[in-house]
Chain A
Amino acid sequence: QKEVEQNSGPLSVPEGAIASLNCTYSDRGSQSFFWYRQYSGKSPELIMFIYSNGDKEDGRFTAQLNKASQYVSLLIRDSQPSDSATYLCAVNMDPSKIIFGSGTRLSIRP
């Protein structure tokens, strides 16, 4: 069965520090990888996608992909209280759909 694994957390990070979120996936043929943020009671919103090995930066966010290790991560620099949310990793394992991990709950403490 195709899977996307994330540590459920909670991950507690002090304000201003780097938050590191990790995700592994089972399908070696996957091509596209996504990070969504979900605030409590709200729907998920896309924050980044990546499909090439290496790093992709967007503001305070950096996505890292290592296809050989089947590993994707999200780094959040200068963490703010507003970054406190659940972060969902998603991977395409089918042309028509993506598989979501169960999410990591991130808490930024002042």
Chain B
Amino acid sequence: SQTIHQWPATLVQPVGSPLSLECTVEGTSNPNLYWYRQAAGRGLQLLFYSVGIGQISSEVPQNLSASRPQDRQFILSSKKLLLSDSGFYLCAWSAPGGGGGPPQETQYFGPGTRLLVL
């Protein structure tokens, strides 16, 4: 079965410091991968998604970037964190190809990383 890991689980960082969050998926090949941010009490904001190695689509221009160095690895980075970057960061995957069961767009979420920028 498929599993998705994110680390770290929580992070407290000073303003202006760099950031690197990692997400890995097991049990599937060539997944679509997604990074979301959820501010306290708010909905999900799609930040980046990737349909393959090295292919990154940015949804919101900001001081964050994403990379996909391997098929099942997705990294979210920042060179200098802002106070407004605080939030709950969620990685998700979907499996293109269909073949019955849930639609191929169905997304499955990792446990998330809670980031507090002070």
Contact = CB atoms under 8 A, between A and B. Distances in A.
A49 B43 contact: no
B108 A49 contact: no
Nearest to A45: B109
B44 A34 contact: no
A103 B43 contact: yes
Contacts, number: 48
A102 B103 contact: no
Interface size class for chain B?
20 to 34
B106 A97 contact: no
Interface size class for chain A?
20 to 34
B112 A100 contact: no
Contacts of B102: 46, 49
A109 to B, nearest CB: 21
- Top 3 nearest A-B pairs (CB, nearest first) are A102-B43, A32-B103, A43-B109
